[in-house]
Structure 1
């Protein structure tokens, strides 16, 4: 089951929703912004307590 997470695009600043698949391990992937089409590096961290945190950065910051 996919979860939606609100983020702001690191390029254009527009608020967007991304879909993440909860996993047992932390992971990174690239997703294009649906507004400006620039590549966003999405990092999903799974903490020991099962809490998930998501961060987004530009390819320049990655």
Structure 2
């Protein structure tokens, strides 16, 4: 996988979510999506933390 490909895929996924109208989603499915979105947000925060603490090997 080329560098940055995952970030572009993430941006595309967010764009797809933005195009949806949450009021059109049945409540049960909306609840499932909210739980899944929170799990994915936690995973994304973990990746942000991994990249935040990368240190220069020369220091």
Q: TM-score range by the shorter chain?
A: under 0.3
Greater strand share, 1 or 2? Answer: 1
Greater helix share, 1 or 2? Answer: 2
- Per the normalisation by structure 1, the TM-score is 0.20
Larger radius of gyration: 2
